[in-house]
Amino acid sequence: MATTNDIKNGTVLKLDGQLWTVIDFQHVKPGKGGAFVRTKMKNVTSGKTVDKTFNAGLKIETATVDKSDMQYLYKDGTDYVFMDQTTYDQINIPETVVGDAANFLLESQVVNVATNEGTVLYIELPPSVILEITYSEPGLQGDRSTGGTKPATLETGHVIQVPLFLEQGTKVKVDTRDSSYLGRVND
């Protein structure tokens, strides 16, 4: 057990049988009344974000989340198979847990897998990845109706917006949080 004074970004709390990650927190000491902690929390399983206020010093239950580096091996039906880098144990993670991260997963890529009491909660990708464009229409000079961007399909099958001058076979750096194009990568 911990108290609300121990809350910081990244802390995982167990509330009403569900796990919540603290995204943002603020200790508030008003002129009148007792101090409190204002938090913004994200549900670990559903991804829903809520604002919650706790009285200062209130006892809260924290959950232990273990993170380990695992290598993505292959997709097996609706599961993704990962291998622990230290023990070489393989685990299957359902498509629902992998979520949007599947848009950026390549075989043999290493990701961070978060578990709680043996249950996989989520996978954490690096902030950006380098992927190759496998299909893109040629950009026409003077075609600025789309703000100078065009759709491009990456080697994972995910489609992002890229500048008109990029062609098929170009490697690009992509932000894994919002699928935005970050730049061209030279080999």
DSSP 53-76: EEETT-EE-B---EEEEEEEEEEE
Tell if the pTM clears 0.85, that is, is over it.
no
**Ranges for all domains in the chain classified under CATH 2.30.30.30:** 2-60
Which amino acid is present at 118? G
CATH architecture of 2-60: Roll (2.30)
Residue 81 pLDDT greater than 90, yes or no: yes
Reported as a pLDDT band with limits 50, 70 and 90, residue 148 is: confident
Tokens read off for 130: 């380098």
Contacts of residue 51, defined as CB under 8 A and 6 or more positions apart, other chains included, come to: 38, 39, 40, 41
* Most confident segment among 10-14, 45-49, 121-125, 170-174: 170-174
Query: What pLDDT, on a 0 to 100 scale, did the predictor assign at position 145?
Result: 57
**What is the topology classification, in CATH, of domain 66-124?**
OB fold (Dihydrolipoamide Acetyltransferase, E2P) (2.40.50)
Q: To which CATH superfamily is domain 128-185 assigned?
A: Nucleic acid-binding proteins (2.40.50.140)
Q: Where in the chain is the domain with CATH 2.40.50.140?
A: 66-124, 128-185
Q: What is the pLDDT of residue 174?
A: 93
3-state helix, strand, coil in the chain (%, to 5): 5, 55, 40
Predicted local distance difference test score (pLDDT) of residue 154: 92
- Strand arrangement, sheet containing 66-76: 90-94, 79-84, 66-76, 110-116, 119-124
Q: What is the pLDDT of residue 163?
A: 86
